[in-house]
Amino acid sequence: MGKIISFFDTTLRDGEQSPGCSMNKREKLILAKQLERLGVDVIEAGFAAASDGDFESVQVIANEIKNSTVAVLARAVKGDIDRAWEAVKGAAKPRIHIFLATSPIHMEYKLKKKPDEVVQMAEEMVKYAANFCPEIEFSAEDATRSEPGFLAEIFDRVITAGAKIINIPDTVGYAMPNEFYDFIMEIRGKSRYLDTVQISVHCHDDLGLAAANTLAAVRAGATQLECTINGIGERAGNAALEEVVMALDVRRDIYGIDFNINTKEIVKTSNLLSGITGVHVQPNKAIVGANAFAHESGIHQHGVLAKRETYEIMTPESVGLTASKLVLGKHSGRHAFKDKVESMGYDLTEEELNEAFEKFKALADQKREVFDRDIGAILTKGIAGEDARYKLNRFVINAGNTITTTASVVLNIDGEDKEGISFASGPIDAAFSAIEKCLDKDILLEDFSLQSVTEGTDALGFATVKLRYKGNHYLGRGVSIDVIEASINAYIDAVNRIC
Ligand code: KIV
Ligand code: ZN
């Protein structure tokens, strides 16, 4: 058995910062449980000081997850650290992850602090957090644009203060793989204590090099890799966990590394994330894209039939892609539905399961075959709304190419019905402005998109609405066979998220 490398998954924190990928507490918990089944060593559950919602999500994940360490992010300030500890202290294995920028540009323009002050702040805050939390990780934000000598100094100080994991992030995705390798080796050479703790890396994908840089860091001695599922994350995203894991797996001849990830759970985790967020990966995405194991050209097909390895460097089964897709229909019972939902990674309460089963039955009446992606779509809605204030009661749209479209939408708001009537050039436009008439909020529609969940004229429509309210963005999702209803539901979902 080779050296063991740890996977630190930040889908629920850095990943959630990705446009369209925000999740509520229930959705985060479902994903966290799947990440635990996937075998990630550390789950970064959120940034507790960012909002009450983030705090509660970290707390519930910390209380439920038993096998993986649960990490929580904090800036190097006492208030953040207190809040982080309050949220994570119920975890079987808690970790506080403190970050502070170390590059000249960040220190001068963002922190407005001198390098000495930054070192002192990092040291004091790590010491403060280590008083109550047994495991502290320190991240030097924008490390790859920082001075290696300065990093060595700050790392030695925070290690002495109690940090057990030192993270070297390529925050802006600027590094090149060979340069990143040399950079880590140089810091290791200059630091007295770095080799006594775990070295971690966290790479962003602005130049499409996040996975390559992460692998270069493994060669330079990193033993913790920070990644996200499907590579979601701030801007161009983070290193995709599935890519890094499978590279280490397929090229064991180079790396000789072992890990605790159960690769057979990869596709399920990727689909679960897409189902929850409604953000699908592109078809040609490595490992988890729809075409990742599809062979289109005749020459390739012939080769694969003669000997699989001619064009396949790993098997679809090794990432959990199995040929049999049990399709459900209107005669499927609750038991088959429950099995299917569980096999997709959803861990629902009885009440959620009952609600989802009702939706499934209604859908199966309208649609001949119900596919996994349909179920993912109805579940997304099933677990998104907790005690929604705004509910759709009914709507009527009168549309045609020779008349002005009219819409009447009746919402139930806190138990009371309110009707909005509007005219516009199209049905969705009219429906949205009818909803706006029912609201007492100054809301701006920023984006709207509609896509079909599967193929065929009876496919479900999946609508996404982005609203702006008091400077913040809120994303709502809606699903229905009727695309106007899907759009209205998405709008109402976003309004409920504001509340
Ligand atoms: O990209 C980054 O530097 C981060 C830190 C908070 C680790 O996300
Ligand atoms: Zn990041």
Query: Taking the CB of residue 168, how many other CB atoms lie within 10 A of it?
Result: 27
| DSSP track, 40-78 | -SEEEEE-GGG-HHHHHHHHHHHHH--SSEEEEEEESSH
pLDDT of 387 over the 80 cut:
no
Ligand closest to the CA atom of residue 50: 1
Q: Enter the pTM of the model.
A: 0.86
C-alpha pair distances (Å), 467 with each of 419, 464, 498: 21, 10, 9
Domain 390-498, architecture per CATH: 2-Layer Sandwich (3.30)
Dihedral of alpha carbons 181, 187, 193, 194, sign: negative
pLDDT of 200 over the 80 cut:
yes
Provide the pLDDT for residue 306: 82
**Residue with the nearest Cα to atom 7 of ligand 1?**
139
Provide the pLDDT for residue 436: 94
Q: Checking DSSP bridges between strand 472-480 and strand 461-469, what pairing results, if any?
A: antiparallel
Provide the pLDDT for residue 211: 98
**Residue with the nearest Cα to atom 6 of ligand 1?**
99
Query: Taking the CB of residue 114, how many other CB atoms lie within 10 A of it?
Result: 11
Provide the pLDDT for residue 326: 63
Provide the pLDDT for residue 323: 60
User: In CATH, what number does 3-277 get?
Assistant: 3.20.20.70
Ligand 1 midpoint to CA 389 (Å): 35
Average pLDDT over residues 189-205: 98
Provide the pLDDT for residue 312: 86
Strand partners, 479: 462
Phi and psi for 47 in degrees, rounded to 5?
-120, 90
Residue entry with tokens 């995203």: 237
| pLDDT tens, residue by residue, 85-98 | 999 999 999 999 99
Q: Which helix (H) or strand (E) holds 20?
A: none
Provide the pLDDT for residue 301: 74
Q: Round to whole Å and give the CA distance between 102 and 485.
A: 50
pLDDT of 141 over the 90 cut:
yes
In 3-state terms, the chain is what percent helix, strand and coil (to 5)? Answer: 45, 20, 30
**Residue with the nearest Cα to atom 1 of ligand 1?**
171
pLDDT of 367 over the 90 cut:
no
Provide the pLDDT for residue 331: 85
| DSSP track, 448-472 | EEEEESSSSTTPPEEEEEEEEETTE
pLDDT of 455 over the 80 cut:
no
- Is residue 14 within 6 Å of ligand 1 at its C-beta? yes
For the chain, what percent of residues have pLDDT higher than 90? 69
Residue of 395 and 370 predicted with greater confidence: 395
Position 386 confidence tier, pLDDT thresholds 50, 70, 90: low
For all residues of the chain together, what is the average pLDDT?
92
Residue type for position 255: Y
